């Protein structure tokens, strides 16, 4: 299985963006909207649990199952013609994002049983560090000190927002390690999508990843003894919403943006997700936003802005 390379007719070109523009506005907007879209994931999972007691892995199964149907339908409608003439990516690479994403969901959900939600969420967002390190060596992305300062400030803001704290507590050690494993899974998922977007379309990557992850998450749900089948119309609606908003409107837009933006900057920008979750919980569930959370949100946004200033196109050599 060889690493997919960019063909003469790249997948990025299908989106009609100028290759001379290293910071296309459309891709930036897609990244931000995608970050907000995935913030709806825990909201829909919570709705499914409240209404029908649907477990987290089971919710992940329905998320990928319905998303696979959606993407397959769009591919069928959009591309009725034979495949393009350029060489296709090895299928082993196309299924990799699905395996990594399923691992991300399964490990993260298990971490909740052994550590608090704040620590688990913050550790999962360390995927930013994973992506930045890989982007430096693999994609040869170069950034200055201001970018690193911005990334660090954004992580501090995330920690304040989540009210996370780490102590040498053996009781939470296992959960914290699972949270770090989540970061490895999701960071690797983002990198694999970035690589595939050199040649493959967003739709094709999303379809393959959904088809791959669906049975893995179903097995995880059954092994965990979770309730899989929704029992009410509201429960079914939550699962469909999870697929449409969090995956179709979240992960798909992020995959689209990764073809046009540096992986390192994209990963830092995705830290906006915890802030989006906090705002959504405030709006939908009347959860109070504390002054600490608001301060953390401001610091987080400031860090992303600094990272954007530090990740100038002149310092980045985009993979080609």
Summarised one tens digit per residue, pLDDT across range 40-61 is 888 888 888 888 989 888 999 9
Please report the pLDDT score of residue 102 as a whole number. Answer: 93
Q: Is the pLDDT of residue 235 over 90?
A: yes
The structure tokens 């906006």 sit at 272
Burial annotation 16-26 (CB, 10 A radius, 16+ → b, else e): ebeeeebebee
Angle at CA of residue 189, ends 50 and 56, nearest 5° = 15
284-315 confidence digits (pLDDT tens): 777 777 888 788 889 988 988 888 887 664 44
Helix, coil or strand: residue 227: strand
Q: How far is CA 237 from the centre of its chain?
A: 22
Burial annotation 112-134 (CB, 10 A radius, 16+ → b, else e): bebbbeebbbbbbbbbbbbbbeb
What the block records as the tokens of 244 is 């449409």
Give me the sign of the Cα torsion angle 174, 251, 160, 155: positive
CA separation, residue 180 to residues 122, 173, 177, 237 (Å): 9, 11, 5, 32
Q: In the chain, where are the structural domains located?
A: 22-79+88-139+169-262
Q: Is the pLDDT of residue 264 over 90?
A: no
CA separation, residue 72 to residues 5, 59, 67 (Å): 24, 20, 8
Q: What is the spatial distance between Cα 132 and Cα 186, in angstroms, rounded to a whole number?
A: 13
The structure tokens 């199964």 sit at 61
54, β-bridge pairs: 227
Cβ count within 10 A of residue 222: 14
Instruction: For residue 229, name the pLDDT band (cuts at 50, 70, 90).
Output: very high
Mean pLDDT computed over 154-159: 86
């Amino acid at each position: 299985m060889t690493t997919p390379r960019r063909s003469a007719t790249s997948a990025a070109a299908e989106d009609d963006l100028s290759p001379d523009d290293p910071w296309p506005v459309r891709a930036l907007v897609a990244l931000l909207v995608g970050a907000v879209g995935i913030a709806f994931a825990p909201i829909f999972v919570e709705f499914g649990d409240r209404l029908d007691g649907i477990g987290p892995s089971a919710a992940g199964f329905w998320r990928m199952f319905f998303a696979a149907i959606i993407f397959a339908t769009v591919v069928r409608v959009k591309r009725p013609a034979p495949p393009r003439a350029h060489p296709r990516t090895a299928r082993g690479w196309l299924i990799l994002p699905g395996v990594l994403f399923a691992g991300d969901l399964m490990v993260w959900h298990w971490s909740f049983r052994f550590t608090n939600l704040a620590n688990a969420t913050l550790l999962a967002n360390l995927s930013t560090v994973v992506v930045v390190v890989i982007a430096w060596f693999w994609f040869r992305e170069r950034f200055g000190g201001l970018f690193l300062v911005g990334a660090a400030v954004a992580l501090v803001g995330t920690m304040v927002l989540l009210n996370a704290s780490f102590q040498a507590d053996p009781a939470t050690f296992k959960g914290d390690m699972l949270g770090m494993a989540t970061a490895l899974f999701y960071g690797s998922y983002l990198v694999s999508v970035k690589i595939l977007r050199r040649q493959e379309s967003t739709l094709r990557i999303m379809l393959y990843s959904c088809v791959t992850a669906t049975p893995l998450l179903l097995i995880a749900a059954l092994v965990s003894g979770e309730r899989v089948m929704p029992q009410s119309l509201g429960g079914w609606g939550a699962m469909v919403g999870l697929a449409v908003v969090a995956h179709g409107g979240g992960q798909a837009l992020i995959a689209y943006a990764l073809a046009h933006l540096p992986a390192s900057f994209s990963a830092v920008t995705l830290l906006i997700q915890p802030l989006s979750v906090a705002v959504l919980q405030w709006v939908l569930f009347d959860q109070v936003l504390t002054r600490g959370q608001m301060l953390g949100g401001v610091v987080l946004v400031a860090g992303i802005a600094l990272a954007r200033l530090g990740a100038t196109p002149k310092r980045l050599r985009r993979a080609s």
